[in-house]
Amino acid sequence: MELNPHRRFNPLLAEYVLVSPHRAKRPWLGQVEDPQNYNTPGYDPKCFLCPSNPRTTGHKNPDYASVFTFPNDFAAVLPPPMPALPSVTHPLLQIEPVVGACDVVVFHPRHDLTLARLGDVEIINVIEEWCRIYVERGNQPDIQHVQIFENKGSLMGCSNPHPHCQVWSTSAVPTTVAKELESLSRYSLSDQSASSPDAPKGLGGRPCLLCDYAHLEASDLTASRVVVKNNDWIAVVPWWAIWPYEILLLPYRRHVLSLLNLSTTEKLSLASIISQITIRYDNLFSCSFPYSMGIHQRPTPKKKGLKEEVDDHDVAHLHFHFEPPLLRSATVKKFLVGYELMAEPQRDLTPEQAATRLAACSNIHFTNAAGATGD
Protein backbone atom coordinates (compact mmCIF):
# COMPACT_ATOMS: atom_id res chain seq x y z
CA MET A 1 0.00 0.00 0.00
CA GLU A 2 2.98 2.31 0.52
CA LEU A 3 3.96 2.03 -3.16
CA ASN A 4 1.00 0.72 -5.12
CA PRO A 5 -1.87 2.86 -6.48
CA HIS A 6 -5.22 2.39 -4.79
CA ARG A 7 -8.49 4.22 -4.03
CA ARG A 8 -9.71 5.17 -0.56
CA PHE A 9 -13.30 5.94 0.38
CA ASN A 10 -14.33 9.10 2.20
CA PRO A 11 -17.46 8.16 4.19
CA LEU A 12 -18.18 11.81 5.07
CA LEU A 13 -18.65 12.88 1.46
CA ALA A 14 -19.33 9.43 -0.05
CA GLU A 15 -16.57 9.80 -2.63
CA TYR A 16 -13.20 8.23 -3.43
CA VAL A 17 -9.67 9.58 -3.61
CA LEU A 18 -6.97 7.99 -5.80
CA VAL A 19 -3.69 7.42 -3.95
CA SER A 20 -0.54 7.15 -6.11
CA PRO A 21 2.48 6.94 -3.76
CA HIS A 22 4.97 6.15 -6.53
CA ARG A 23 4.32 9.56 -8.17
CA ALA A 24 6.06 11.39 -5.32
CA LYS A 25 9.37 10.56 -7.03
CA ARG A 26 8.59 12.37 -10.29
CA PRO A 27 10.77 15.41 -11.12
CA TRP A 28 9.22 18.86 -10.72
CA LEU A 29 9.85 21.62 -13.24
CA GLY A 30 6.50 23.33 -12.70
CA GLN A 31 5.42 26.43 -10.81
CA VAL A 32 7.42 27.43 -7.75
CA GLU A 33 5.78 29.73 -5.18
CA ASP A 34 7.37 32.41 -3.05
CA PRO A 35 7.93 30.97 0.46
CA GLN A 36 5.46 32.17 3.09
CA ASN A 37 8.05 33.71 5.41
CA TYR A 38 7.70 35.28 8.83
CA ASN A 39 8.89 38.75 7.94
CA THR A 40 5.86 40.85 8.85
CA PRO A 41 6.03 43.63 11.46
CA GLY A 42 4.06 43.66 14.70
CA TYR A 43 2.14 46.68 13.44
CA ASP A 44 1.51 47.87 9.90
CA PRO A 45 0.13 51.41 9.48
CA LYS A 46 -1.32 50.43 6.09
CA CYS A 47 -3.13 47.32 7.39
CA PHE A 48 -6.93 47.52 7.41
CA LEU A 49 -7.11 45.19 10.44
CA CYS A 50 -4.50 46.66 12.81
CA PRO A 51 -5.79 48.59 15.86
CA SER A 52 -6.82 52.23 15.32
CA ASN A 53 -6.28 52.00 11.55
CA PRO A 54 -8.92 53.13 9.04
CA ARG A 55 -10.54 50.58 6.73
CA THR A 56 -11.33 51.21 3.06
CA THR A 57 -14.94 52.06 3.95
CA GLY A 58 -13.80 54.89 6.22
CA HIS A 59 -14.59 53.02 9.43
CA LYS A 60 -11.83 53.21 12.02
CA ASN A 61 -10.85 50.14 14.02
CA PRO A 62 -10.91 50.54 17.80
CA ASP A 63 -7.68 50.30 19.76
CA TYR A 64 -8.54 46.70 20.60
CA ALA A 65 -6.42 44.61 22.96
CA SER A 66 -7.70 41.09 22.26
CA VAL A 67 -10.06 39.53 19.69
CA PHE A 68 -11.87 42.01 17.43
CA THR A 69 -14.96 41.15 15.35
CA PHE A 70 -16.76 43.33 12.83
CA PRO A 71 -19.16 42.83 9.88
CA ASN A 72 -17.22 42.19 6.67
CA ASP A 73 -17.04 45.38 4.60
CA PHE A 74 -17.31 43.29 1.42
CA ALA A 75 -19.75 40.57 2.43
CA ALA A 76 -20.54 37.66 0.09
CA VAL A 77 -24.16 37.57 1.30
CA LEU A 78 -26.40 40.39 2.43
CA PRO A 79 -29.16 40.72 5.04
CA PRO A 80 -32.83 40.80 4.06
CA PRO A 81 -34.87 42.13 2.46
CA MET A 82 -33.57 41.27 -0.97
CA PRO A 83 -35.14 42.14 -4.34
CA ALA A 84 -37.14 39.46 -6.11
CA LEU A 85 -35.13 37.06 -8.27
CA PRO A 86 -35.79 36.78 -12.01
CA SER A 87 -38.19 34.05 -13.01
CA VAL A 88 -36.93 31.03 -14.94
CA THR A 89 -38.81 29.04 -17.54
CA HIS A 90 -37.03 25.68 -17.53
CA PRO A 91 -36.68 23.08 -14.71
CA LEU A 92 -32.93 22.78 -15.41
CA LEU A 93 -32.47 26.43 -14.56
CA GLN A 94 -33.01 26.56 -10.83
CA ILE A 95 -32.40 29.59 -8.63
CA GLU A 96 -33.14 30.41 -5.00
CA PRO A 97 -32.59 33.48 -2.86
CA VAL A 98 -29.95 33.57 -0.12
CA VAL A 99 -29.54 36.08 2.67
CA GLY A 100 -27.18 36.26 5.58
CA ALA A 101 -24.17 38.03 7.02
CA CYS A 102 -20.38 37.84 6.93
CA ASP A 103 -18.10 38.69 9.85
CA VAL A 104 -14.35 39.08 10.28
CA VAL A 105 -12.73 37.83 13.50
CA VAL A 106 -9.24 39.27 14.08
CA PHE A 107 -7.27 36.98 16.37
CA HIS A 108 -4.95 39.49 18.03
CA PRO A 109 -3.81 43.13 17.76
CA ARG A 110 -0.35 42.02 16.63
CA HIS A 111 -0.03 41.97 12.86
CA ASP A 112 2.47 39.11 12.94
CA LEU A 113 0.95 36.61 15.41
CA THR A 114 -0.68 33.65 13.70
CA LEU A 115 -2.35 30.85 15.65
CA ALA A 116 1.00 29.05 15.65
CA ARG A 117 2.55 31.92 17.59
CA LEU A 118 -0.28 32.70 19.99
CA GLY A 119 -0.32 31.32 23.52
CA ASP A 120 -3.04 28.92 24.64
CA VAL A 121 -4.86 31.64 26.60
CA GLU A 122 -4.96 33.85 23.51
CA ILE A 123 -6.32 30.96 21.43
CA ILE A 124 -9.00 30.38 24.07
CA ASN A 125 -10.06 34.00 23.52
CA VAL A 126 -10.53 33.14 19.85
CA ILE A 127 -12.52 29.99 20.71
CA GLU A 128 -14.81 31.97 23.01
CA GLU A 129 -15.40 34.48 20.20
CA TRP A 130 -16.24 31.63 17.83
CA CYS A 131 -18.83 30.50 20.38
CA ARG A 132 -20.27 34.01 20.74
CA ILE A 133 -20.63 34.70 17.02
CA TYR A 134 -22.03 31.19 16.41
CA VAL A 135 -24.80 31.91 18.93
CA GLU A 136 -25.42 35.47 17.75
CA ARG A 137 -25.71 34.64 14.07
CA GLY A 138 -27.17 31.17 14.51
CA ASN A 139 -30.13 32.48 16.48
CA GLN A 140 -31.13 35.01 13.84
CA PRO A 141 -34.44 34.00 12.21
CA ASP A 142 -33.21 33.70 8.61
CA ILE A 143 -29.97 31.85 9.37
CA GLN A 144 -29.77 28.09 8.75
CA HIS A 145 -25.98 27.66 8.87
CA VAL A 146 -22.95 29.38 10.41
CA GLN A 147 -19.57 28.59 8.83
CA ILE A 148 -16.37 29.59 10.63
CA PHE A 149 -13.22 29.34 8.52
CA GLU A 150 -9.70 30.70 8.16
CA ASN A 151 -7.67 31.20 4.98
CA LYS A 152 -4.07 31.56 6.08
CA GLY A 153 -1.50 32.95 3.67
CA SER A 154 -1.57 34.59 0.26
CA LEU A 155 -1.29 31.13 -1.30
CA MET A 156 -4.83 30.49 -0.03
CA GLY A 157 -6.16 33.76 -1.42
CA CYS A 158 -6.01 35.61 1.87
CA SER A 159 -6.27 39.33 1.06
CA ASN A 160 -4.75 40.59 4.33
CA PRO A 161 -1.82 39.01 6.21
CA HIS A 162 -3.07 40.16 9.64
CA PRO A 163 -4.17 36.83 11.22
CA HIS A 164 -7.95 36.54 11.15
CA CYS A 165 -10.80 34.23 10.23
CA GLN A 166 -14.24 34.73 8.75
CA VAL A 167 -17.78 33.71 9.65
CA TRP A 168 -20.35 33.38 6.87
CA SER A 169 -23.92 32.87 8.05
CA THR A 170 -26.46 31.91 5.40
CA SER A 171 -30.12 31.09 4.94
CA ALA A 172 -29.24 27.70 3.39
CA VAL A 173 -27.04 24.78 4.49
CA PRO A 174 -24.11 24.70 2.00
CA THR A 175 -23.49 21.73 -0.26
CA THR A 176 -20.47 20.16 1.46
CA VAL A 177 -21.98 20.48 4.91
CA ALA A 178 -25.26 19.01 3.66
CA LYS A 179 -23.37 16.01 2.23
CA GLU A 180 -21.62 15.43 5.56
CA LEU A 181 -24.89 15.66 7.51
CA GLU A 182 -26.54 13.23 5.09
CA SER A 183 -23.69 10.73 5.55
CA LEU A 184 -23.77 11.13 9.34
CA SER A 185 -27.54 10.64 9.35
CA ARG A 186 -27.40 7.57 7.11
CA TYR A 187 -24.70 6.02 9.35
CA SER A 188 -26.68 6.73 12.53
CA LEU A 189 -29.75 4.95 11.13
CA SER A 190 -27.87 1.90 9.86
CA ASP A 191 -27.01 -1.29 11.70
CA GLN A 192 -23.29 -0.71 12.09
CA SER A 193 -21.84 -4.10 12.98
CA ALA A 194 -18.37 -2.57 12.62
CA SER A 195 -19.13 -0.01 15.34
CA SER A 196 -16.99 -0.71 18.39
CA PRO A 197 -19.00 -1.24 21.59
CA ASP A 198 -16.39 0.91 23.36
CA ALA A 199 -16.80 3.88 21.02
CA PRO A 200 -18.89 6.86 22.12
CA LYS A 201 -22.44 6.99 20.77
CA GLY A 202 -24.47 9.76 19.27
CA LEU A 203 -27.69 11.10 20.73
CA GLY A 204 -30.23 8.39 21.44
CA GLY A 205 -27.45 5.81 21.64
CA ARG A 206 -27.21 5.62 17.85
CA PRO A 207 -23.88 5.00 16.07
CA CYS A 208 -21.91 8.11 15.11
CA LEU A 209 -19.63 7.92 12.07
CA LEU A 210 -17.07 10.35 13.50
CA CYS A 211 -17.26 8.90 17.02
CA ASP A 212 -16.42 5.51 15.53
CA TYR A 213 -13.67 6.89 13.31
CA ALA A 214 -12.06 8.90 16.10
CA HIS A 215 -12.20 5.87 18.39
CA LEU A 216 -10.62 3.71 15.68
CA GLU A 217 -7.70 6.10 15.23
CA ALA A 218 -7.25 6.69 18.98
CA SER A 219 -7.19 2.93 19.60
CA ASP A 220 -4.68 2.17 16.83
CA LEU A 221 -1.53 1.03 18.62
CA THR A 222 0.58 1.95 15.57
CA ALA A 223 -0.88 5.50 15.52
CA SER A 224 0.00 5.48 11.82
CA ARG A 225 -2.19 8.47 10.95
CA VAL A 226 -2.12 10.31 14.30
CA VAL A 227 -0.28 13.64 14.32
CA VAL A 228 -0.99 14.63 17.91
CA LYS A 229 -3.46 13.58 20.62
CA ASN A 230 -4.34 14.82 24.11
CA ASN A 231 -6.94 13.87 26.71
CA ASP A 232 -9.88 15.12 24.67
CA TRP A 233 -8.84 15.66 21.04
CA ILE A 234 -7.14 13.74 18.28
CA ALA A 235 -5.59 15.19 15.10
CA VAL A 236 -5.09 12.75 12.24
CA VAL A 237 -4.26 12.82 8.57
CA PRO A 238 -7.50 11.03 7.68
CA TRP A 239 -7.57 7.76 5.78
CA TRP A 240 -9.29 9.59 2.90
CA ALA A 241 -7.21 12.81 2.91
CA ILE A 242 -6.98 14.71 -0.39
CA TRP A 243 -4.49 17.46 0.48
CA PRO A 244 -0.91 16.33 1.19
CA TYR A 245 -0.85 17.32 4.88
CA GLU A 246 -4.58 17.54 5.52
CA ILE A 247 -5.66 17.18 9.16
CA LEU A 248 -8.97 16.19 10.69
CA LEU A 249 -9.25 17.37 14.32
CA LEU A 250 -12.06 16.04 16.47
CA PRO A 251 -13.02 15.05 20.03
CA TYR A 252 -12.73 11.33 20.55
CA ARG A 253 -14.04 10.64 24.05
CA ARG A 254 -17.67 11.67 23.53
CA HIS A 255 -20.20 12.89 20.98
CA VAL A 256 -20.01 16.70 20.78
CA LEU A 257 -22.58 18.63 18.73
CA SER A 258 -20.91 22.03 18.66
CA LEU A 259 -18.44 24.38 20.29
CA LEU A 260 -21.17 25.29 22.78
CA ASN A 261 -21.13 21.78 24.22
CA LEU A 262 -17.46 21.90 25.19
CA SER A 263 -16.48 22.00 28.84
CA THR A 264 -13.89 24.47 30.11
CA THR A 265 -11.34 21.66 30.18
CA GLU A 266 -12.14 20.67 26.59
CA LYS A 267 -11.72 24.27 25.44
CA LEU A 268 -8.33 24.40 27.12
CA SER A 269 -7.23 21.18 25.45
CA LEU A 270 -8.63 22.41 22.12
CA ALA A 271 -6.53 25.57 22.34
CA SER A 272 -3.48 23.46 23.14
CA ILE A 273 -3.91 21.07 20.22
CA ILE A 274 -4.66 23.88 17.72
CA SER A 275 -1.36 25.40 18.82
CA GLN A 276 0.46 22.08 18.38
CA ILE A 277 -1.04 21.46 14.92
CA THR A 278 -0.19 24.90 13.56
CA ILE A 279 3.32 24.86 15.07
CA ARG A 280 4.00 21.51 13.43
CA TYR A 281 2.73 22.88 10.14
CA ASP A 282 5.15 25.82 10.31
CA ASN A 283 8.01 23.58 11.40
CA LEU A 284 7.51 21.11 8.53
CA PHE A 285 9.06 23.44 5.95
CA SER A 286 10.26 26.25 8.29
CA CYS A 287 7.74 28.73 6.91
CA SER A 288 4.42 30.34 7.71
CA PHE A 289 2.46 27.29 6.52
CA PRO A 290 -0.63 28.21 4.44
CA TYR A 291 -3.93 26.39 4.87
CA SER A 292 -7.69 26.69 4.87
CA MET A 293 -9.33 25.66 8.14
CA GLY A 294 -13.04 25.19 8.72
CA ILE A 295 -15.22 24.17 11.65
CA HIS A 296 -18.09 21.77 11.03
CA GLN A 297 -20.69 21.37 13.77
CA ARG A 298 -24.44 21.71 14.16
CA PRO A 299 -25.41 24.20 11.43
CA THR A 300 -26.92 26.45 14.12
CA PRO A 301 -27.29 26.17 17.92
CA LYS A 302 -30.28 24.31 19.31
CA LYS A 303 -33.12 26.77 19.85
CA LYS A 304 -34.16 27.76 23.37
CA GLY A 305 -36.87 25.49 24.71
CA LEU A 306 -35.94 22.70 22.26
CA LYS A 307 -32.62 21.61 23.78
CA GLU A 308 -34.04 18.28 24.97
CA GLU A 309 -35.60 17.42 21.63
CA VAL A 310 -33.54 15.49 19.07
CA ASP A 311 -33.68 16.83 15.52
CA ASP A 312 -32.06 15.97 12.17
CA HIS A 313 -28.97 18.09 12.89
CA ASP A 314 -28.11 16.26 16.12
CA VAL A 315 -26.14 13.76 14.06
CA ALA A 316 -23.48 16.49 13.70
CA HIS A 317 -20.16 15.81 15.41
CA LEU A 318 -17.89 18.81 15.96
CA HIS A 319 -14.71 18.62 13.88
CA PHE A 320 -12.12 20.84 12.23
CA HIS A 321 -10.74 20.46 8.70
CA PHE A 322 -7.23 21.77 7.99
CA GLU A 323 -6.50 21.67 4.25
CA PRO A 324 -3.04 22.97 3.27
CA PRO A 325 -1.70 23.01 -0.30
CA LEU A 326 2.06 22.57 0.21
CA LEU A 327 3.44 19.27 -1.07
CA ARG A 328 7.23 18.95 -1.37
CA SER A 329 8.55 22.14 0.17
CA ALA A 330 7.66 25.69 1.14
CA THR A 331 7.57 26.59 -2.56
CA VAL A 332 5.88 23.62 -4.28
CA LYS A 333 2.14 23.15 -3.82
CA LYS A 334 -0.43 20.61 -4.91
CA PHE A 335 -2.79 21.58 -7.73
CA LEU A 336 -6.35 20.26 -8.02
CA VAL A 337 -6.52 20.12 -11.81
CA GLY A 338 -7.01 17.76 -14.75
CA TYR A 339 -8.03 14.31 -13.54
CA GLU A 340 -9.00 15.72 -10.15
CA LEU A 341 -11.41 18.22 -11.68
CA MET A 342 -12.77 15.86 -14.31
CA ALA A 343 -12.79 12.52 -12.46
CA GLU A 344 -11.87 12.32 -8.75
CA PRO A 345 -9.29 13.69 -6.28
CA GLN A 346 -5.78 12.21 -6.28
CA ARG A 347 -2.82 12.39 -3.90
CA ASP A 348 0.80 11.26 -4.04
CA LEU A 349 2.29 10.50 -0.61
CA THR A 350 0.04 8.38 1.60
CA PRO A 351 -1.76 9.80 4.63
CA GLU A 352 0.43 7.57 6.80
CA GLN A 353 3.61 9.08 5.34
CA ALA A 354 2.27 12.60 5.83
CA ALA A 355 1.24 11.91 9.43
CA THR A 356 4.67 10.47 10.23
CA ARG A 357 6.39 13.60 8.96
CA LEU A 358 4.10 15.94 10.87
CA ALA A 359 4.27 13.93 14.08
CA ALA A 360 8.07 14.05 13.93
CA CYS A 361 8.07 17.86 13.89
CA SER A 362 8.86 19.69 17.11
CA ASN A 363 6.09 21.28 19.15
CA ILE A 364 8.36 24.30 19.67
CA HIS A 365 8.03 26.86 16.89
CA PHE A 366 11.13 27.03 14.71
CA THR A 367 11.43 30.79 15.30
CA ASN A 368 11.70 30.09 19.03
CA ALA A 369 14.11 27.16 18.74
CA ALA A 370 17.61 27.46 20.16
CA GLY A 371 19.84 29.32 17.72
CA ALA A 372 16.92 30.65 15.66
CA THR A 373 17.40 34.08 14.18
CA GLY A 374 14.83 36.73 13.41
CA ASP A 375 11.66 37.66 15.24
Positions marked active-site: 164
Farthest CA pair distance, the chain: 68
CA-CA distance, 169 to 165, in Å (whole number)?
A: 13
How far apart (Å, rounded) are the C-alpha atoms in residues 51 and 166?
Answer: 18
Separation in Å, CA 268 to CA 40, 120, 124:
28, 7, 7
| Among 315, 298, 312, 204, residue whose Cα is nearest residue 260 | 298
Q: 112, 15, 141, 129: which is closest to 66 by C-alpha? A: 129
User: Is 201 exposed, middle or buried (CB count within 10 Å of its CB: 0-12, 13-18, 19+)?
Assistant: middle
What gap in Å lies between CA 38 and CA 188, rounded to an integer?
Answer: 45
